[in-house]
Amino acid sequence: MTHEDFEHVYEYAKQWVLEAGALIRDKIDTPMTINTKSNPKDLVTTMDKETERFFVQRIKEQFPDHLLLTEEGYGDDIVSMDGTVWIIDPIDGTMNFVHQKSNFAISVAIYHNGIGQIGLIYNVMDDILYSARKNSGAFKNDTKLAKLKNDVTLEQSLLGLNHYWLCANHLVDERVMQDLVRTVRGVRTYGSAALEFAYVAEGIIDGYLTMNLSPWDIAAGVVLVNEVGGITTTITGDSLDMLKKNSIVACNSCIHPKLIDDFLKKGQK
């Protein structure tokens, strides 16, 4: 695909994300069915499914040779990242969607032969679109985001973090996580991985750390964070694999080495 091809795809993707968001806003107060998936805390609503179908129908019609890797199962059975693959979470932060009717996002990424080309994260209720195209920078609505800081210490950092370190088979020793929380300036939990990536890209948190995320939670965020000079790896500093679940560290380049070497690697079980 050429640069022009990606621009063409980007325009459609952006338009569909904004349209899907408007539909969600229109229906936010209508009663909807809430079901659970893998466990009682893993929620899915009719709106998650409807929104995913909205994208699948349009993409299949407009770009029949593109593939889809999606959360709610209306996409393709993806076993390789060859070709053009859309990675979509129709609602990231479903628990926020259900409980708060805010603080959730539509996350859409487009990868070509395994390389992230386009990332869109739409904070639906606040009508804020984070977008990035490879080598063209990242934006918050129409404002270009600055490159991330490279002079901040871990002690001066605000980290996006959640309690999933307790759930994910104790990947990291709890005492090491407690030590990390004491070391940094502060921690925040927003409840939408996509938005937390966007906040890292915006520079309003210095890093985001979580244990067990699916490709659709992170794919668009990775494109955004890369475009502002940030780093995205697993908690052992390895590359992310869009075909499986990953632990995640997304942060500016200055705190990455210490975060990985002095804390997360030391805490490996």
Per-position x/- string for 128-167, each x denoting binding to ligand 2AM as judged by CB under 6 A, each - no binding: ----------------------------------x-x--x
Rg, Å, the chain Cα set: 18
DSSP 72: S
Pick the binder of ligand 2AM from 72, 92, 202, 227 (CB under 6 A). Answer: 92
Among positive and negative, which fits the CA dihedral 228, 191, 85, 6?
negative
Pick the binder of ligand 2AM from 5, 7, 11, 42 (CB under 6 A). Answer: 42
Structure tokens at 138: 């990242």
The number of residues that bind ligand 2AM (CB under 6 A) is 14
Q: Which residue stretch of 49-57, 90-98, 198-206, 231-239 sits at the interface with ligand 2AM (rule: CB under 6 A)?
A: 90-98
Task: State the minimum distance, in angstroms, from the CB of residue 248 to ligand 2AM.
Answer: 9
Q: What is the C-alpha separation between 5 and 105, in angstroms, rounded?
A: 26
Please provide the DSSP assignment of 28-54 as one string. Answer: TTS---EEESSSTT-EEEHHHHHHHHH
Q: Of the two residues 91 and 125, which places its CB atom closer to Ca ion in the complex?
A: 91
Distance between start and end Cα atoms, the chain: 43
Q: What is the C-alpha separation between 132 and 166, in angstroms, rounded?
A: 32
For residue 192, state whether it binds ligand 2AM (rule: CB under 6 A).
yes
Question: Which residue's C-beta sits nearest to ligand 2AM?
Answer: 193
For residue 172, state whether it binds ligand 2AM (rule: CB under 6 A).
no
Judged by the rule CB under 5 A, the positions of this chain that interact with Ca ion are 71, 89, 91-92
For residue 267, state whether it binds ligand 2AM (rule: CB under 6 A).
no
Q: Of the two residues 195 and 260, which places its CB atom closer to ligand 2AM in the complex?
A: 195
Burial of 115 (C-beta count, 10 Å sphere; 0-12/13-18/19+): exposed
